[in-house]
Amino acid sequence: MKPENKLPVLDLISAEMKTVVNTLQPDLPSWPATGTIAEQRQYYTLERRFWNAGAPEMATRAYMVPTKYGQVETRLFCPQPDSPATLFYLHGGGFIEGT
């Protein structure tokens, strides 16, 4: 990536969010995490403990959807299985961390 195309993300987030990111869980290394992708993924999972705490229990089903480019892993989350409400979310790309 060309340096001129890279946004200074840490300079752009609010002071309040920087405080949240750096103090939520004192057992984590300082943010942003460095190290291997595996280490960054582990950090990401640990950091998300806070954001996911108290989330509703829900059924989760995984599907493989065939496309002309190969199989795409897809997940269906059902917090209220009898509800007709639907949110269809497509990730915009660049996915290297998280689950």
Express each pLDDT in 2-38 by its tens digit. Answer: 667 777 777 888 888 777 767 656 666 666 667 788 8
Q: Is the pLDDT of residue 72 over 90?
A: no
In sequence order, the β-bridge partners of residue 70 are 67
What pLDDT score does 57 carry?
82
pTM of the shown model: 0.45
**Band of the pLDDT at 55, cuts 50, 70, 90?**
confident
More confident residue, 92 or 42: 42
In sequence order, the β-bridge partners of residue 65 are 72
Residue pair 73/16 in contact by the 8 Å Cβ criterion:
no
Q: Which of 12, 50, 6, 7 is nearest to 28 (CA)?
A: 50
